[in-house]
Amino acid sequence: MRKYIPVSLLIILPGIILYMLSCTAGSCFEETESYIKASFYDNATTKLLAPDSLTLYGLNNDSMIYNKSISVQPALIPLNSSTDSCTFVIQINGVNDTIVFKYSSYPHLISKECGYTFYHHIDTVRNYTKHLIKDIYTANSTITNLNVENIRIFY
């Protein structure tokens, strides 16, 4: 006498095997976004000093990055990889200034699991208004996904 295997088992079993083989062992645990890491310094003492209130948004778009945030240190500023410059309005303790970043962007492979991101290289940083910000110093002109200070804002 012959035993028959149910048809539903013949359909489900290969599906389960294919599903288990298609899963990858690792997931993406790395940072995938590249931001300018801007630290704030007291102009008189040249020591780190987080602003009491920080508002930051891109000029000519509706992207609010920080809205009256308290004690931000460092500020993470995103750059647009499809352009070569970005202008931001930064409000420190209620006083507005405008900063313009000129940069170049290039793709970078993080890993197989995480895929690609864009790294940037800062060419120039301009502080067009000097109401509160006295100076901006570029500490590291290469913008990556690593936690490295890129610019210092003295106010």
The pLDDT assigned to 22 comes to 61
pTM: 0.78
The pLDDT assigned to 60 comes to 78
Q: Indicate the domain borders of the chain.
A: 27-154
pLDDT tens per residue across span 13-42: 777 776 666 655 567 888 889 999 999 999
Within the chain, which residues score under 50 in pLDDT? none
The Cα 146–Cα 62 span in angstroms is 27
b/e per residue, 80-106, with b = 16+ CB within 10 A?
A: bbeeeebebebbbeeeebbbebebebe
The pLDDT assigned to 101 comes to 96
The pLDDT assigned to 1 comes to 57
